[in-house]
């Protein structure tokens, strides 16, 4: 057992050394790295094993008393039963528990040291989370429970300073969730694949994105690829016609590039394009299907799938829509421009 532990320690040492070299290389070329931090931990994780006092784990079994999930939504009619133990956010007097806060402060701090920006998953769970009694077969019979809210983020900001976070604010988003997000001035997320349901008032349609303080995705790791979604034979023809009319399309060709262009043309400060949408892959290359436990997270980008032609297209759109930061190659910063002292 001791030899096995040493092997794992050495593998982790090598990984972090290589990661730090990679991050330094990217940052030196003006490239920032967005990381991802899930809100919950697995019941069989090292985090749960060593921090049971901050989780809804019954020490006598040991198993969770209540587990995480979401109610029925866009992805699943019976909701999503994740099965992760929930946090014990508050003590008997209603105060935010110091041990739970300290664990989160260390977690955020570590994530920030590894990446430049962190997408914090299931942000709405910090306002209120869906709690399901352990043993339920679906997430239908759950209830909303108040989360730590503004108090957690205020203390995190006091501890860590500015929080370079993206709030994954998808799902059932209430005024309270928006108030929490906006109170911390965190950018939320907009998903183009969600934009074409519900008519012209849909908040994800590019013309309804009124703020720069957001990140716009064609789709996320939980969505089908853009081509898989659009060319799905089960998509109602009326919906496809509406999408084409909105985008001013006359034919179905190169749809993924039409969506990328919509993302780049939006007011969102940042546009994120999954690599499967850049390559134009279909649904067989989907990353993850929420609510399922098999066949996910198996796709891997291989050498040669990204081409110079694709990069040229992206750069051209970035130039057209002012998405190339000042100081990048072929875009001289102020110090490189000759400025006369007087006319």
Q: What is the DSSP string of 97-128?
A: PHHHHHHHHHHHHHHHHH-SEEEETTGGGGTE
Query: CA 153 to CA 177: how far, in whole Å?
Result: 13
Is 197 a catalytic site residue?
no
Is 319 a catalytic site residue?
no
Q: What angle do CA 193, 199, 200 make, to 5 degrees?
A: 95
Q: What is the DSSP string of 231-277?
A: T-TTS-HHHHHHHHHHHT-SS-TTHHHHHHHHHHHSS-SEEE--HHH
Q: Which of 168, 169, 224, 262 is catalytic?
A: 168
Q: Which of 73, 116, 136, 222 is catalytic?
A: 222
10 Å Cβ neighbour count for 252?
11
Look-up of token digits 């077969």: 137
Q: Which of 73, 121, 151, 305 is catalytic?
A: 121
Which residues make beta-bridge pairs with 179?
none
For residues 272-299, one letter each, b for 16 or more C-beta atoms within 10 angstroms of the residue's C-beta and e for the rest, the string is bbbebbbbbbbeebbbebebeeeeeeee
H helix runs in 79-211, sequence order:
98-114, 149-160, 175-183
Q: Cis before residue 18, ω within 30 degrees of 0?
A: no
Query: CA 6 to CA 12: how far, in whole Å?
Result: 10
Is 222 a catalytic site residue?
yes
Strand pairing of 165-167 and 117-120? parallel
Choose among 165, 132, 160: nearest CA to 66.
Answer: 132
Q: Which residue numbers are catalytic?
A: 121, 168, 222
């Amino acid at each position: 057992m001791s030899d096995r532990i040493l092997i794992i320690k050495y593998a982790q040492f090598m990984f972090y050394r290589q990661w730090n070299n990679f991050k330094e290389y990217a940052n030196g070329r003006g490239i920032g790295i967005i990381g991802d931090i899930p809100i919950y931990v697995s019941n069989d994780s090292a985090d749960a094993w060593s921090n049971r006092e901050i989780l809804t784990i019954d020490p006598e079994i040991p198993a969770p008393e209540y587990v995480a999930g979401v109610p029925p939504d866009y992805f699943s009619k019976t909701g999503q039963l994740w099965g992760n133990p929930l946090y014990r956010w508050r003590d008997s007097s209603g105060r935010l528990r110091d041990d739970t806060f300290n664990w989160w402060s260390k977690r955020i701090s570590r994530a920030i040291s590894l990446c430049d920006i962190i997408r914090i998953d299931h942000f709405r769970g910090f306002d209120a989370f869906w709690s399901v009694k352990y043993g339920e077969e679906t997430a239908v019979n759950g209830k909303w429970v108040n989360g730590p809210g503004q108090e957690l983020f205020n203390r995190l900001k006091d501890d860590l300073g500015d929080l370079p976070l993206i709030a994954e604010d998808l799902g059932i988003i209430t005024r309270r969730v928006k108030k929490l997000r906006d109170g911390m001035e965190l950018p939320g997320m907009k998903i183009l694949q969600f934009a074409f349901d519900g008519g012209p008032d849909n908040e994800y349609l590019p013309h309804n994105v009124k703020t720069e303080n957001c990140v716009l995705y064609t789709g996320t790791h939980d969505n089908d690829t853009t081509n898989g979604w659009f060319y799905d034979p089960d998509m109602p023809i009326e919906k496809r016609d509406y999408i084409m009319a909105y985008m001013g399309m006359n034919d179905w060709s190169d749809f993924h590039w039409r969506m990328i262009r919509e993302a780049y043309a939006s007011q969102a400060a940042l546009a994120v394009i999954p690599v499967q949408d850049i390559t134009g892959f279909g649904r067989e290359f989907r990353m993850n299907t929420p609510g399922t436990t098999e066949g996910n997270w198996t796709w891997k980008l291989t050498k040669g799938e990204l081409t110079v032609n694709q990069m040229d297209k992206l750069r051209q759109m970035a130039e057209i829509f002012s998405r190339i930061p000042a100081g990048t190659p072929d875009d001289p910063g102020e110090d490189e421009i000759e400025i006369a002292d007087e006319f």
